[in-house]
A and B are shown apart, each in its own frame.
Chain A
Amino acid sequence: MKSLLVKFCLVAYLFTLVAFVFLAIKVIDVRSKCTRERHNISNLFSKTKSLKDENSRLLIEFYREVRPGLVDKNTQKMEILHENGVKYLK
């Protein structure tokens, strides 16, 4: 009985030690993942911001290129339509 108790104690000590090490590793792993994800979020955030700025810049560039003054200038040789010269067919 006594030897059984001693063996059980030994097993219990070992199990506790192993469980503690395992949980510690798990917690460290999860925390590192959190930190990495946070880092990813802030990277994503700055990338989104730079893409938005780039989108905005390209949009402005587009409207600069198609502004009516420029289109008008480039189509000066085209014939101007008059309302009595158009056939209004649906």
Chain B
Amino acid sequence: MRGVFWIRNFFFRVYRFIKPFKDERLNFFFLMSVFLVLIYSWRIFDLSYFKKDYWIKQVRNQFAGKIKLAPPKGAILDRNGTVLAASEKVVSFYVRPSEIKDWKLFESIILRNKKVLQEYSSLKKIPVDKLENLLLPFSWITKKDLEKAYKKKYTVVVIKKSNGKKVERKVPFVWLKKRLSVGVEESARAVRVALRIYYALSGENRFKKRYPDILGYSTEYKRVYPYAVGSTVVGITSPFGEGLTGLERYLERKKLIVGKSVVITGRKDARGRVYLGTNATLFVTKEKGKNVELTIDGNLQYIVEKVISKYGKKWHPRFINAVLMDPNTGEILAAASWPFFNYEEPEKGGPLTPRYAVAPYEPGSAMKPFVLAAALNEGLITPNTVFFCPAHYEVGKKVFHNEFHGRDVKLRAWEIIQYSDNVGIIKVAQLLGKKRLYRYYKAFGFGEKTGIELPGESPGILRNWKKWRDVDFATLAFGHNISVTTLQLAAAYSAMVNGGIYYKPTFLKAVIDDKGRVLKEFKPEPERRVISERVSKEMRRILTMVVEGGTGTATRFENFYIGGKTGTALRYNPKIHGYDKSKINATFAGAFPMTNPRYVLVVSVVEPKVPRNMLWASKIAVPIFREIAERVLLYERVAPDRKKYFIAGNGCVESVDINQDFTFKNGLQQKKK
């Protein structure tokens, strides 16, 4: 009791000391106010200091909004900017069948039943054709799709709980039609209109529904190939957008065409709308998947694919490869391998293997020009050096025959290539020696990968010169005992005719952004000088003689000098442990226009199913080469190098022969077959 008295007295003393007014009511009011102010101040202090982290977090969650962007993959373009592969935004429609009470009505709306639309039209005074137009995106949906969705009713989803257990749940969600190429805005409008019609005619209350979106749409990206060419170069992606083959796979691995998911933060209002700042636009343009420009010309690619398809269906070979290159830069203008996957008929399937880079084969006589070029470059011979080529020539235990049916002949060095004489080229190789021949073969790119931007490239087979027996050395001179890919041959012939520089073959030209600005350029890569400029010029003349009077006459043009070399090699059959005379690899490797080559084209046909008398490259590979070369020259409007056209005084178009000294005229042999 004394304690209570003491406390009471103490408070009274304090009160009498501090009371500012004489009036006790005023004093009471003042003290109460001070007391309340103290409580509020304490509360503010408590909230803003002790619990500040909690409340700041609450505010951030409430007002911070973010948008996550998953940009699509960049496009793959050809050298002219034509779209070869692109990501198309597609729309997928979904439905919740268990939430729809009047399924027949819903079905009629989706199928745009005129009776139902007229009913709604009279109700809302909207023209029927306007409603039909608005519901046009649903024209892709069939009655069968609707029946299938209605039958399915639910989608079973597996959910992983926080305790690690997996639970199956039935979700009232079924895909109606997936991946349609329709506009997003049109789809959104169609869905809104369809729902409005349904709710108006069925009498259901959408606000009382658990899932009012009984019909909806979702967008995703689908990889498409609108130009429908170059499947063995461009490749395809999986339905999930991952590159599976070709450049789609390569560019994805190198992260050249994939965009990064970006989260852009901003502020959010009470309705949940996000307000972004100016920094948002910078992020978006920087992180989108970049476009890649190839060296391929889409139209030349089509020409090559069409021609090899035509001959593929005619001769039923195992495969046909064709590679068209620019010899002065190493850029590949077209590359195809029949049979190939057709983008226009994907359901038929077809191989996507770029056999021109992954399938090596024995090229045969197409290798002879490299032996001659090496000997010329070493200064051992000149194009006019005379060789005695007997009908039979023994090397080790093997006897080789010349091309002149039992006659001993003398040939100039260039004639060895023109008549594709085995004995002559063996003699040239023997002058060169094993080590030097091996060195030149390696310099021309054989026995190693070219580094082309395709997965699975084969280096071919070229054994070390120390392992060559004399017979192997002899057969290597005319393209046996060595395996090469069509691409390696094209790159090697490019080096032979372009002045002697070996360029790395490539498909990539540049990486560009969606505004067309070049972000990165892939410049031609001259790797090494193989032969001199002078020897390269001599070889161009020599190769021309093959077409002028040798094994490639079927591709002789009136207005252009064409040069090349045929190669017919028997295929090794492991079943008979020997070479099968009914199976060949037919190759023609050439360049045009030969006075200043702009194109190198190599065509190889493996195991054509034709009569025995047609089993020669001159009858199999040369016609394909001719057709492609002709189309390319006309498409590119190349000026002729054999004739010059002018308008004469009488107004007629006349021509005069030019570059007549380009061909050799001092041959020792007239071919007698």
Which of A's residues lie within 8 Å of B, judged by CB?
Answer: 35, 38-39, 41-42, 45, 48-50, 52-54, 56-57, 59-64, 67-69, 72, 81-84, 86-90
With both beta carbons as reference points, the residue of chain A lying nearest to B638 in the complex is identified as A88
Decide if A69 touches B280 in the complex (CB within 8 Å).
no
Decide if A45 touches B276 in the complex (CB within 8 Å).
yes
| Stretch from B235-243, B377-385, B639-647 forming part of the interface with A | B639-647
Decide if A39 touches B275 in the complex (CB within 8 Å).
yes
Given contacts A38-B275, A84-B557, contact A57 B83 (CB under 8 A): no
How far, in Å, is B287 (CB) from chain A's closest CB?
A: 13
- Bound complex: CA A86 to CA B630 (Å): 11
Which of B's residues lie within 8 Å of A, judged by CB?
Answer: 82-83, 86-89, 181, 183-185, 224, 226-229, 266-267, 273-278, 280-281, 284, 298-299, 302, 306, 344, 514, 557-560, 630, 633-634, 639-640, 643, 645-647, 653
Find chain B residues with CB under 8 A from A49 CB: 284
How far, in Å, is B642 (CB) from chain A's closest CB?
A: 10
- Bound complex: CA A69 to CA B230 (Å): 12
Decide if B266 touches A42 in the complex (CB within 8 Å).
yes
Find chain B residues with CB under 8 A from A35 CB: 275
CB-contact partner of B277 in A41, A50, A62, under 8 A = A41
Decide if A82 touches B630 in the complex (CB within 8 Å).
yes
The 8 closest A-B pairs by CB, nearest first: A63-B226, A68-B302, A38-B275, A84-B558, A64-B226, A42-B276, A87-B653, A53-B89
How far, in Å, is A48 (CB) from chain B's closest CB?
A: 8
Find chain B residues with CB under 8 A from A52 CB: 514
Given contacts A57-B88, A69-B302, A72-B306, contact A41 B276 (CB under 8 A): yes
Decide if A38 touches B276 in the complex (CB within 8 Å).
yes
Given contacts A53-B89, A84-B559, A86-B634, contact A45 B280 (CB under 8 A): yes
Find chain B residues with CB under 8 A from A42 CB: 266, 273-276, 280
With both beta carbons as reference points, the residue of chain A lying nearest to B229 in the complex is identified as A68
Given contacts A57-B88, A83-B560, contact A88 B227 (CB under 8 A): no
With both beta carbons as reference points, the residue of chain B lying nearest to A81 in the complex is identified as B634
CB-contact partner of B645 in A57, A68, A88, under 8 A = A88
Given contacts A41-B280, A67-B226, A68-B299, contact A59 B306 (CB under 8 A): no
- Bound complex: CA A81 to CA B635 (Å): 10
Decide if B184 touches A50 in the complex (CB within 8 Å).
yes
- Bound complex: CA A38 to CA B281 (Å): 12
Find chain A residues with CB under 8 A from B284 CB: 45, 49
With both beta carbons as reference points, the residue of chain B lying nearest to A40 in the complex is identified as B275
Find chain A residues with CB under 8 A from B228 CB: 67-69
25 contacts between A and B (CB under 8 A): A38-B267, A38-B276, A41-B280, A45-B276, A45-B280, A45-B284, A50-B184, A52-B514, A54-B183, A56-B88, A61-B226, A63-B83, A63-B226, A67-B227, A67-B228, A67-B229, A68-B228, A72-B302, A72-B306, A84-B558, A86-B559, A88-B559, A88-B643, A89-B645, A89-B646
Decide if B633 touches A83 in the complex (CB within 8 Å).
yes
Find chain A residues with CB under 8 A from B183 CB: 54, 57
How far, in Å, is A45 (CB) from chain B's closest CB?
A: 6
Secondary structure of the A side of the interface?
helix
Decide if A83 touches B559 in the complex (CB within 8 Å).
yes
Find chain B residues with CB under 8 A from A68 CB: 227-229, 298-299, 302
- Bound complex: CA A10 to CA B181 (Å): 74
- Bound complex: CA A69 to CA B229 (Å): 9
With both beta carbons as reference points, the residue of chain B lying nearest to A54 in the complex is identified as B183
Find chain A residues with CB under 8 A from B646 CB: 89
Decide if B275 touches A56 in the complex (CB within 8 Å).
no
- Bound complex: CA A38 to CA B264 (Å): 13
Find chain B residues with CB under 8 A from A59 CB: 83, 86
How far, in Å, is B179 (CB) from chain A's closest CB?
A: 13
Decide if B89 touches A56 in the complex (CB within 8 Å).
yes
How far, in Å, is A63 (CB) from chain B's closest CB?
A: 4
- Bound complex: CA A45 to CA B283 (Å): 11
- Bound complex: CA A68 to CA B296 (Å): 14
With both beta carbons as reference points, the residue of chain A lying nearest to B644 in the complex is identified as A88
Find chain A residues with CB under 8 A from B558 CB: 83-84
Given contacts A35-B275, A38-B277, A69-B302, contact A63 B227 (CB under 8 A): yes
Find chain A residues with CB under 8 A from B634 CB: 81, 83, 86
How far, in Å, is B229 (CB) from chain A's closest CB?
A: 7
- Bound complex: CA A60 to CA B222 (Å): 12
Given A42-B276, A83-B557, A88-B639, 10 other A-B residues pairs in contact with their CB atoms under 8 A: A45-B276, A45-B280, A50-B185, A56-B86, A67-B229, A69-B229, A82-B630, A84-B559, A86-B634, A88-B559
With both beta carbons as reference points, the residue of chain B lying nearest to A59 in the complex is identified as B83
Decide if A53 touches B275 in the complex (CB within 8 Å).
no
Find chain A residues with CB under 8 A from B224 CB: 60
Decide if B266 touches A38 in the complex (CB within 8 Å).
yes
- Bound complex: CA A67 to CA B85 (Å): 13
Find chain B residues with CB under 8 A from A90 CB: 639
With both beta carbons as reference points, the residue of chain B lying nearest to A38 in the complex is identified as B275
Find chain B residues with CB under 8 A from A61 CB: 226
With both beta carbons as reference points, the residue of chain A lying nearest to B654 in the complex is identified as A87
- Bound complex: CA A87 to CA B275 (Å): 65
With both beta carbons as reference points, the residue of chain B lying nearest to A90 in the complex is identified as B639
Decide if A89 touches B653 in the complex (CB within 8 Å).
yes
- Bound complex: CA A49 to CA B646 (Å): 55
- Bound complex: CA A66 to CA B639 (Å): 27
- Bound complex: CA A42 to CA B67 (Å): 10
- Bound complex: CA A46 to CA B82 (Å): 27
How far, in Å, is B88 (CB) from chain A's closest CB?
A: 5
How far, in Å, is A44 (CB) from chain B's closest CB?
A: 8
How far, in Å, is A14 (CB) from chain B's closest CB?
A: 28
- Bound complex: CA A52 to CA B291 (Å): 14
Find chain B residues with CB under 8 A from A62 CB: 226
- Bound complex: CA A48 to CA B280 (Å): 12
How far, in Å, is B354 (CB) from chain A's closest CB?
A: 20
With both beta carbons as reference points, the residue of chain A lying nearest to B69 in the complex is identified as A49
Find chain A residues with CB under 8 A from B276 CB: 38, 41-42, 45
- Bound complex: CA A39 to CA B557 (Å): 68
Given contacts A41-B277, A63-B227, contact A57 B633 (CB under 8 A): no
With both beta carbons as reference points, the residue of chain B lying nearest to A49 in the complex is identified as B284
With both beta carbons as reference points, the residue of chain B lying nearest to A89 in the complex is identified as B645
Find chain A residues with CB under 8 A from B557 CB: 83-84
How far, in Å, is A72 (CB) from chain B's closest CB?
A: 7
Find chain B residues with CB under 8 A from A39 CB: 273, 275
